[in-house]
Amino acid sequence: MSKKIQQLGFRLFNAGVMLLLTVGTVFAQGGTTPETKAPKIPDISTLPGPQAGKDVDVSKVGGYLQEQFLPKIAVTIISLAVGTSVLFIIIGAIMMLTAYGNEEKLGNAKKTIILALIGLVISLLSYVIVQLIFFTGYQITEIT
């Protein structure tokens, strides 16, 4: 009982300290001062992007999406899947080493390793498919 009271007191103390720290910063912000100025709006001609009256080649926008953005996203997701598969192979190996002859634990460890290997194969095959699609000249066209 004494341990629970100590934990409750510690939590209340931490909550009080956090409340005092946040209240000071919230109320420290005053109203408007005479030095407050309106934001300066930049000149349109200095902003990046197409200029007014000039034609924009819309096909280049889709090219960036197809040639750079989507392959990076796909490779990132596949890399995470491969990393997770390798992690589960290691976890299964540790489970196998610590089974100590227990058949149920050994069976779970084998199942974990087999499923991780299947996930690894699927991830690697999906990487190959993504490479074939994006880097062999496949063009994504509009459906009209």
pLDDT > 70: percent of the chain? 58
pLDDT tens-digit map of 81-128? 999 999 999 999 999 999 988 999 999 999 999 999 999 999 999 988
- The C-alpha atoms of residue 22 and residue 28 are separated, in whole angstroms, by 10
Domain boundaries, the chain: 59-144
